[in-house]
Homo-oligomer: A and B are copies of this chain.
């Protein structure tokens, strides 16, 4: 599809102005815009400015608090629960993650479960923040239901990502950021638009039957967990999504499982609420709480080189290191800009008209 390319800095400024338009304080607006910009830079197009219109809608409707008072409701030296006061996840997330990192600096590790928050962008962003402080960082979040548990016929869990990053010395860091489902919802939408079938193992229809018809998934069907079916261990993807759900939501008092509130206007509102907002979970580990950081990084360099040198499977150039594709995208896009689809550009123009913020 025809795309048009924009400098990352322009998109970031536009997002920042949009957040400020709703009364988000300057510092918070800059951080929120940075989280979105980083997703676009890293090639995760579904989580960048393509989502700005959803944030715009939620702020317009007053469903998100533009000036949250983020506070710790309970803590120990290495743990805390944070109430996000229904703020933007893009604002609450970085603050909660900073609490986890501060605790790690003081007590060796820090673990923060967050309730009363909203979508926080790419999980990997938070781990990259930890790398800047020479910490191992973890991030997880729940999200609106889309995924069926193995042997289920309905959406019960979000795509519940797990991210973790490890620094190296001369090699780039290992950055893991994965949704716990077999395929991203965005891929289903792309197949539908192209009129193509989807592979087996991605989805079930509204009756819980395996389907290769993208429309059947969209019309009340569900994504399958990582592993897809029983034979290939779909119960494991389901268990990982459950783990994320409990750490982010049950531990913090947020809405778990099918009760996660909707993010986009088109999504249905759950029958009831079992907590406040959605939930995140952040972790940070101080490397020198375990080993000399130099020794750790030297071994990570060797780990990376060893895995890069794996004998390649036929027709491939061999295994990648987690984070490779995103880092390459970032190098390209920092130089060449962010390609946007016409529908995304139209969304941004719509925001521009309605909020009277120039975009072009």
Q: Are B183 and A253 in contact (CB under 8 A)?
A: no
14 contacts between A and B (CB under 8 A): A74-B290, A77-B107, A78-B108, A151-B313, A153-B312, A154-B311, A156-B307, A166-B250, A178-B239, A183-B232, A204-B313, A227-B232, A232-B232, A252-B290
Interface size on A, residues (CB 8 A): 90
Q: A149-B319, A310-B156 are in contact. Are A300 and B250 (CB under 8 A)?
A: yes
A113 to B289 CA separation, bound complex (whole angstroms)? 10
One of B182, B237, B319 near A151 (C-beta < 8 A): B319
Q: Are A151 and B320 in contact (CB under 8 A)?
A: yes
Q: A208-B314, A313-B151 are in contact. Are A296 and B107 (CB under 8 A)?
A: no
A109 to B235 CA separation, bound complex (whole angstroms)? 28
Which residue in chain B gives the minimum CB-CB distance to A259? B306
A337 to B236 CA separation, bound complex (whole angstroms)? 28
- Interfacial residues of chain A within 183-215, with CB under 8 A of chain B in the complex: 183, 199, 201-202, 204, 207-209
Q: A250-B299, A314-B209 are in contact. Are A201 and B232 (CB under 8 A)?
A: yes
Which residue in chain B gives the minimum CB-CB distance to A224? B232
Q: Are B312 and A113 in contact (CB under 8 A)?
A: no
A74 to B288 CA separation, bound complex (whole angstroms)? 9
This chain's copy number in the assembly? 2
A235 to B238 CA separation, bound complex (whole angstroms)? 17
- Interfacial residues of chain A within 111-169, with CB under 8 A of chain B in the complex: 111, 113, 136, 148-154, 156, 162, 164, 166
Cβ-based interface call for A345 (8 A): no
Q: Are B299 and A256 in contact (CB under 8 A)?
A: yes
Taking CB atoms, residues of chain B closer than 8 Å to A178 are 233, 235-236, 239-240
Which residue in chain B gives the minimum CB-CB distance to A298? B250
Q: Are A242 and B322 in contact (CB under 8 A)?
A: yes
- Interfacial residues of chain A within 91-108, with CB under 8 A of chain B in the complex: 107-108
A155 to B98 CA separation, bound complex (whole angstroms)? 38
CB distance from A341 to the nearest CB of B (A): 23
Which residue in chain B gives the minimum CB-CB distance to A230? B316
Contact bitstring A39-72, B, C-beta under 8 A = 1, else 0: 0000000000000000000000000000000000
Cβ-based interface call for A219 (8 A): no
Q: Are B303 and A231 in contact (CB under 8 A)?
A: no
A199 to B136 CA separation, bound complex (whole angstroms)? 37
Q: Are A199 and B232 in contact (CB under 8 A)?
A: yes
Taking CB atoms, residues of chain B closer than 8 Å to A231 are 183, 199, 201
A180 to B178 CA separation, bound complex (whole angstroms)? 14
Q: Are B291 and A251 in contact (CB under 8 A)?
A: yes
